[in-house]
Amino acid sequence: MISVDTVIVGGGVSGLITAHALRAEGHSVLVLERQVRPGGNAISERIGGFLMEHGPSTVNLGMRGIAELAEDLDLGNVRTDLGRGVRKRYLTKNGQLAGIGLHPLAFLTSGYLSWAGRARMAAELWQPRGDPDAEETVAEFGQRRFGAEFAERVLDPLVSGMFAGDARQTELGFVMPALAAMERAHGSVIRAVLRARLRGGRMPARQLSSWREGIGTLPSALALRLGNSVKTGVTVRRIARTRHGFAVDSGDRGRVHARAVVVATQPHVAAQMFAQIAPGAADECARIAAPPLAVVFLGYRRDQVAHPLDGLGYLTPGGEERIVNGGLFCSTMFAGRAPANHVAIAAYIGGARAPDHACLTADTLISTVRREFADLVGARGDPVVARVRQWPRGLPQFRRGHSRLVERLEQALSDSPGMYVTGNYLRGPSVGACADCALDTARRVSLYLGQATETAFRIGGSRTGAVATANPQCR
Ligand SMILES: Cc1cc2nc3c(=O)[nH]c(=O)nc-3n(C[C@H](O)[C@H](O)[C@H](O)COP(=O)(O)OP(=O)(O)OC[C@H]3O[C@@H](n4cnc5c(N)ncnc54)[C@H](O)[C@@H]3O)c2cc1C
C-alpha cells in the first residue's frame, strides 16, 4: 500500500491549493480526484474563438491568499482585469434592463427604485442598530435597514446572482459579513461606504480578474506543479481509521495509507466520507443543500445584438418571474472571450430560486435563453455558438444558522485527530474564499503532522503515538 503524509480527497481548487501549500511545507501529498481532469467546477473551455466558463468566471485578486498564490504560480503575465467597457450594472425591471452606475450608492440617483424606495434607502443613515445575535437573513436585514423595495429589487437578485441563493433564507452574517460589520462599527452601511470612499477605497467589482484562458488556468497550473501527486479518475469510496493513521479506499483503484486526510469534496460527499469516523460531522455536511444550477453560453456576431453590453451583465429580481436569474456579458468583462466582431453572453438558471428550471433539457434551456436575450438585449437570429452546462449540485446554500452549523462541524471533527475538511461551504463559495480556507487547512494539517512526528519520537521513534491535538478547521 502506498503511504503518504496526507491524502486529499477531491481535486477542485480547494483540494489542489491545500496540496500545493502542504507540499511547500515539505509534506508528501496525494490528491485523489474522481473526474478525468482536476479543477472541480473551475472549467474553462475554448469553443472556436469563444471562451466558456462552465463554473467561476471571476476571481477577486484583491484577496491576499489567492493573489499570492497566483504570483507563486507565475500567473501574473496571463492575468486579465475587467475591461473598460464595464461601466454599469443592469437589473431587470418590468421586462427591461435598467442600467445603474457601479457605485453602491448609485441606486440613490438612478430611477431604478421609486422615489419612495430611494427615500427609504437614504433613511438607512438613521435606522437604529439591530440585534447582532439575531441571525438575520439578507432579506430581513435589507428590509430593516433599507426598506422592502431595496431588499426585493436589489438584494434579492444579488443573492441569487452571487450565491444562487434565496435572500429570504440566506444568512447575512455568513455571506455578507461586511454589511453586518459596517452596521456594528458605523451604525449605518451608507455612512461606512461614504467614509471608505473618502479614504479612497476601491469598489469590489473593480478588483475582479481572470486569466487569459479563464479560471481553469488556476487548477491547471496547480496540477502541473503537483505532477504525480494528483491522480484523476479515482473515486474514494471509504476512509477508515487504522492504528497508524487512515486507510483511504478507492475500490479497484487501490488503497492508500495516510497520516492525515483532508476531505475537499462537495458537502454531500463529505457526509459519506465522515460517516464512520466522525458521524457528527457527517450529519452537519448532509444538512447543506446545493440545488442544481445551469449555465447557458451563447455567442453571437456583434451585429446580431442591439444592446451595447456595457456592463458586467444583469440580474433579475425574483418578483419579475423570469426563468433566467441573470446573465454575464462575458466578452465585455474580459478581452479574448469572443472572436473579433462577436460577443459572448452567459445565462444562469436554477439555484435555490427555482432548482427545477436547471434540470430542463439542454434544448429547452437554449431556446429559453435565446428568447430571454431577444427580449432583454435585442439578440436576433441563430447564435454562432450555444453550449449548456448543468450542475446537478450547484452552490452550497448558507441558510439561517449556517455559521453555527460550521462551528458544530468543526467541533465534531476536533474529536478525530488527523481528519480535516476544506471547501466552499466553510468560508464562502468564491475561489478566493476557497483559497483562504484551503491555506488555513494546510497550516493546520502541517502543524498536526509536525506535532505527530515530535510526539512519536518522544515515545520511542514510532509514528504510531496517538496525538490528541485539537483539530479546529478553518474559520
Ligand atoms: C456556475 C458557477 C459559477 C460560479 N461563479 C463563480 C465566480 O464567478 N467567482 C467565484 O469566485 N466563484 C464562483 N463559483 C464558485 C466556485 O467556483 C466554487 O465554489 C469553487 O470552485 C469550489 O471549489 P471546491 O474545490 O471547493 O469544490 P469542487 O469544485 O466542487 O471540487 C470538489 C471535487 O471533489 C471531487 N470529488 C467528489 N467526490 C469525490 C470522491 N468520492 N473521490 C474523489 N474526488 C471526489 C469532485 O469531482 C470535484 O472535482 C461558481 C460556481 C459555479 C458552479
- Per-domain residue ranges of the chain: 2-41+218-289+399-469, 58-85+291-391, 105-200
The answer to whether 246 touches 258, Cβ cutoff 8 Å, is: yes
Compute, in angstroms, the gap from residue 460 CA to the centroid of ligand 1.
42
Structure letter (DSSP) for residue 322: -
CA–CA dist 431, 74 (Å, integer) = 18
Compute, in angstroms, the gap from residue 23 CA to the centroid of ligand 1.
21
Q: What average pLDDT does the chain have? A: 93
Burial (CB count <10 Å: 0-12, 13-18, 19+), residue 100: buried
Compute, in angstroms, the gap from residue 269 CA to the centroid of ligand 1.
12
pLDDT reading at 442 higher than 50: yes
Which residues line the pocket of ligand 1, CB cutoff 6 A? 9-15, 32-35, 40-42, 55-59, 235-236, 264-266, 269, 293, 295, 391, 394-395, 423-424, 429-431, 434
The answer to whether 46 touches 295, Cβ cutoff 8 Å, is: no
State the fold for domain 2-41+218-289+399-469.
FAD/NAD(P)-binding domain (3.50.50)
Structure letter (DSSP) for residue 343: E
Q: Domain 105-200, CATH 3.10.20.30 — does that match? A: no
Per-residue confidence band for 129, with pLDDT thresholds at 50, 70 and 90:
very high
CA–CA dist 284, 330 (Å, integer) = 36
For 8, the grid coordinates are 486529499
Compute, in angstroms, the gap from residue 11 CA to the centroid of ligand 1.
9
The answer to whether 430 touches 60, Cβ cutoff 8 Å, is: yes
CA–CA dist 52, 358 (Å, integer) = 18
Compute, in angstroms, the gap from residue 41 CA to the centroid of ligand 1.
4
Q: Mean pLDDT, to the nearest integer, of 116-140?
A: 95
Closest CA to 370 of 352, 345, 350: 345
**Residue with CA nearest ligand 1 atom 26:** 423
Per-residue confidence band for 462, with pLDDT thresholds at 50, 70 and 90:
very low
What confidence score (pLDDT) does residue 466 get?
33
| Count of C-beta atoms within a 10 Å radius of residue 353 | 21
What confidence score (pLDDT) does residue 197 get?
81
Per-residue confidence band for 132, with pLDDT thresholds at 50, 70 and 90:
confident
**Residue with CA nearest ligand 1 atom 1:** 55
What confidence score (pLDDT) does residue 470 get?
35
**Residue with CA nearest ligand 1 atom 13:** 56
- Burial code (b: 16+ CB inside 10 Å, e: under 16) for 42-81 equals bbbeeeeebbbbbbbbbbbbebebbbebbeebebeeebbe
For 360, the grid coordinates are 430542463
Structure letter (DSSP) for residue 27: -
Compute, in angstroms, the gap from residue 423 CA to the centroid of ligand 1.
8
Per-residue pLDDT tens over the stretch 287-322: 999 999 999 999 999 999 999 999 999 999 999 999
- Atom of ligand 1 at shortest distance to CA of 250? 42
Compute, in angstroms, the gap from residue 440 CA to the centroid of ligand 1.
18
The answer to whether 211 touches 78, Cβ cutoff 8 Å, is: yes
Q: Mean pLDDT, to the nearest integer, of 376-391?
A: 98
- Atom of ligand 1 at shortest distance to CA of 432? 11
Q: Mean pLDDT, to the nearest integer, of 211-239?
A: 98
pLDDT reading at 457 higher than 50: yes
What confidence score (pLDDT) does residue 402 get?
98
**Residue with CA nearest ligand 1 atom 4:** 56
For 105, the grid coordinates are 450608492
pTM of the model: 0.94
**Residue with CA nearest ligand 1 atom 5:** 56
Per-residue confidence band for 461, with pLDDT thresholds at 50, 70 and 90:
very low
- Atom of ligand 1 at shortest distance to CA of 15? 25
For 462, the grid coordinates are 514510532
Compute, in angstroms, the gap from residue 434 CA to the centroid of ligand 1.
9
Per-residue pLDDT tens over the stretch 16-37: 999 999 999 999 999 999 999 9
The answer to whether 301 touches 379, Cβ cutoff 8 Å, is: no
User: 58-85+291-391, superfamily in CATH?
Assistant: Protoporphyrinogen oxidase, mitochondrial; domain 2 (3.90.660.20)
The answer to whether 372 touches 347, Cβ cutoff 8 Å, is: yes
What confidence score (pLDDT) does residue 454 get?
65
